Structure 1
Amino acid sequence: MPANKTASNVVLIGMPGSGKSTVGVLLAKRLGLGFIDTDLLIQQEAGRTLQDIVDGDGYQALRRIEEQVLLRLEVQRQVISTGGSAVYSEAAMQHLKADAVVVFLDIPLGVVLERIGDYSARGISRRPDQSLEDLFTERYELYSRLADVAIDCVGKDHEEVCDAVLVALARARAAR
């Protein structure tokens, strides 16, 4: 349950390939909210792609820029699709949680690998020596701990995931 029971935003967290951007757009349409993709905000601020940031300045630079973008975000009535590494910033996540229900789109590693293919071109924030499997394990704990709601996305298309999020949000509201 979110700390702020009158939360106006919905924040989507999860691994790359979990459907945050696609489900976020669907969810925003169904809820009559705006939609923000923070990966796009990061690229706009930096003037380059996520991969260019990682290649040129390293994964920690991407995380720093992401944290700054998230901490400056002052919005209401938005569905916010975060980058997969947003959960590394406790400060940014607490800032988002102040006015949001945080929803973890949970997919298994096999689905991540299947959906993202060549992850070296995805602008994924990870240590150079870190495998995708290790990254998945590391982030899974963070996603699970920070989420108010987790949605099992296995076997569901984007519309079905959106439906599951709507049901979970209605339950959260009813429990207030």
Structure 2
Amino acid sequence: MLIGPPGSGKSTLGQLLAERLGVGFRDTDADVEAVAGKPVSDVFIEDGEAAFRALEHQAVRRALAEHDGILSLGGGAVLDAETQALLDGHHVVYLQVGLADAVQRVGLASARPLLVLNPRSQLKKLMEERRPVYQRLAVVTVVTDKREPAELADEILRGLPA
């Protein structure tokens, strides 16, 4: 299971890890979009963050019950105390990324709903607020800055239990 802020590489690494392990890949943001019938950014704008977080929690709960491959959680999914409890006992990998790399990957013209007004400042704030939660939940932390996905996948696979 991969956690981390926007731009940490959860989707890219998740797909690569799933391919290498011969298992499925699932992204809870995609699950939320499928249930809502619209992009995450539209859920935020039209329904509000509280509605999105409720859908996100349901998506994590469902994915943990149904999926046995690689799972990528939306960056803020770990903020929910019930979601944190659900992650207990799972092999959680925190993809740690610095602000400069995250900005480069996400882009400042992003459609990500929490980064609309001042993207760089908002991303920095999100990363600082969420870091302690990511660190507490993680069994393994991998720093992604200036590294290729294949190298990161190798490191994560070495850290997986046998």
Q: Name the CA shift for 1:57/1:76 in 2 (closer, same or farther; >3 Å).
A: closer
Identity %: 38
Q: Contact (CA 8 Å) 1:35, 1:78: kept in 2 or not?
A: yes
Q: Contact (CA 8 Å) 1:36, 1:79: kept in 2 or not?
A: yes
- Runs (4+) off by over 6 Å: 125-128
TM-score, normalising length: structure 2 = 0.88
Q: Contact (CA 8 Å) 2:87, 2:137: kept in 1 or not?
A: no
Q: Name the CA shift for 1:81/1:162 in 2 (closer, same or farther; >3 Å).
A: same
Answering whether residue 121 of structure 2 is matched by residue 97 of structure 1, we say: no
Answering whether residue 129 of structure 2 is matched by residue 138 of structure 1, we say: yes
Matches within 5 A, 1:42-121: 42-73=32-63, 74-98=65-89, 100-118=90-108, 121=111
Equivalent position SS for 1:36:
strand
Q: Contact (CA 8 Å) 2:115, 2:122: kept in 1 or not?
A: no
Deviation, structure 1 residue 18: 0.9
Matches within 5 A, 1:3-18: 11-18=1-8
User: In proportion to residue count, which structure has more helix?
Assistant: 2
Q: Name the CA shift for 1:133/1:77 in 2 (closer, same or farther; >3 Å).
A: same
Partners of 1:28 and 1:75 lie apart in 2 by 16
Equivalent position SS for 1:61:
helix
Residue of 17, 40, 46 corresponding to 1:27: 17
Deviation, structure 1 residue 127: 10
Which residue in the other structure is 1:3 paired with?
none
Equivalenced residue count is: 159
Mean CA deviation greater in 68-77 or 27-36: 68-77
- Spell out, residue by residue over 1:124-173, the C-alpha distance to the aligned partner (whole angstroms, 9 max, x if none): 48999x8222111001111111111101112211111111101111xx44
Partners of 1:32 and 1:70 lie apart in 2 by 22
Partners of 1:63 and 1:76 lie apart in 2 by 20
Q: Which amino acid aligns with 1:131?
A: Q
Partners of 1:59 and 1:96 lie apart in 2 by 22
Q: Which amino acid aligns with 2:133?
A: L
Q: Name the CA shift for 1:144/1:127 in 2 (closer, same or farther; >3 Å).
A: farther
Which residue in the other structure is 1:5 paired with?
none
Q: Name the CA shift for 1:127/1:93 in 2 (closer, same or farther; >3 Å).
A: farther
